[in-house]
Amino acid sequence: MSEKVCEVKNLTYLYPKSDKGVKNVSLYVNKGSIVGLLGESGCGKSTLAKCISSQLIPQSGEIVCQKIGYIFQDNYASLNPAKRVGWLLKETIKYGNPEKFSEYEKRIKNILEDVELDESVLEHYPSELSGGQRQRIGIAMALLSNPDILIADEPVSALDVTVQKQVIKLIKKLNERKNLAILFISHDIKVVREICNYIYILKDGELIEEGDSEDLFTNPSNEYTKNLLDSSYLE
């Protein structure tokens, strides 16, 4: 039995004056595993991510998580456009991991190696980088605070297919090398199938099915899951 780095028990968060949100969701992420959270727009997957990363305060339920790193979907808006990449990384260390600030240059160098970027990006503004490079910077910023679990909210949805593949490869590599747990949130079945070991399927705020990646794709039990698989033109 491996260690749980993040566990959510009976979590409920409903938006004010509506019945949208997440209802009574329980899930956990083991150390070193990549867990997928799959659902269509409006199913509450981002809400769940926001609750876990304490951007939203749930009405009921329990969240026990070790240190979280967060990757946003929109790599354009998630990096401050007015600052150079070097400044952004430095700021992240300064506030995310202040005890290590004295050796920040070394840290930045290491982290850039981890995400396979050249040091020249430090001098650039985010708008001068490509989408894939920006998302790598996003990942680097999440890693700088030494997280135990990475929450990735649609990290590759805005990217081109070939770039998606590279970023997915990178996330897999980080998972293996650092034994980092990842909660991978996406609407894209192909991407989730590619990367995740275990998958939860969310619909209208409720978990409707879960299982090992293999089982779920070969033997979906729920009608909705079947429909979802059927609609995705999988090979």
Question: Least separation, in Å, of the C-beta of 200 and other proteins?
Answer: 17
Residue with tokens 């600030």: 101
Of the residues 7, 74, 204, 206, which one makes contact with other proteins according to CB under 8 A: 74
Q: How far apart are CA 231 and CA 27, in angstroms?
A: 26
- Residue closer to other proteins, measured from CB, 7 or 194: 194
Instruction: Specify the amino acid at residue 111.
Output: I
Q: How far is the CB of 2 from other proteins (least distance, A)?
A: 27
Closest distance to other proteins from the beta carbon of 227 (Å) = 6
Residue type (1 letter), 71: I
Establish if 187 lies at the interface with other proteins (CB under 8 A): yes
Q: Which of 130, 146, 179, 219 binds other proteins (CB under 8 A)?
A: 130
**Binding status of residue 220 toward other proteins by CB under 8 A:** no
**Quick one: tokens of 181?**
């747990």
Enter the tokens of residue 136: 């790598």
Helix H or strand E segment including 125: none
Residue 158's nearest CA partner among 100, 89, 76, 230 is 76
DSSP 74: -
Tokens representing 95 are 């506030």
Give 186's strand partners. 38
What residues numbered 46-65 form the site for other proteins, per CB under 8 A?
A: 53, 55
CB 173 to other proteins: min, Å: 18
> Cβ-count burial of 54 within 10 angstroms (0-12 exposed, 13-18 middle, 19+ buried)?
exposed
The crossing angle, in degrees rounded to 10, of helices 131-143 and 161-178 is 20
Residues that contact other proteins, how many (by CB under 8 A): 46
Nearer Cβ to other proteins (98/218): 98
Spell out, one character per residue from 141 to 180, where the chain touches other proteins: x when CB under 8 A holds, - when not.
x---x--------------xxxx-x---------------
Options 1, 17, 82, 120; binder of other proteins; rule CB under 8 A = 82
Query: Should residue 204 be labelled a site residue for other proteins when binding is judged by CB under 8 A?
Result: no
Smallest gap, in angstroms, from Cβ of residue 44 to other proteins?
14
State how far the alpha carbon of 29 is from the alpha carbons of 25, 114, 179, 199, 204, in Å.
Answer: 13, 23, 12, 10, 22
Among 59, 95, 106, 109, binds other proteins (CB under 8 A): 95
| C-alpha to C-alpha distance for 164 and 153, rounded to whole angstroms | 14
For residue 96, state whether it binds other proteins (rule: CB under 8 A): yes
Residues that bind other proteins (CB under 8 A): 40-41, 53, 55, 70, 72-74, 76-83, 91-92, 95-96, 123, 125, 127-128, 130-131, 141, 145, 160-163, 165, 187, 189-191, 194, 227-228, 230-235
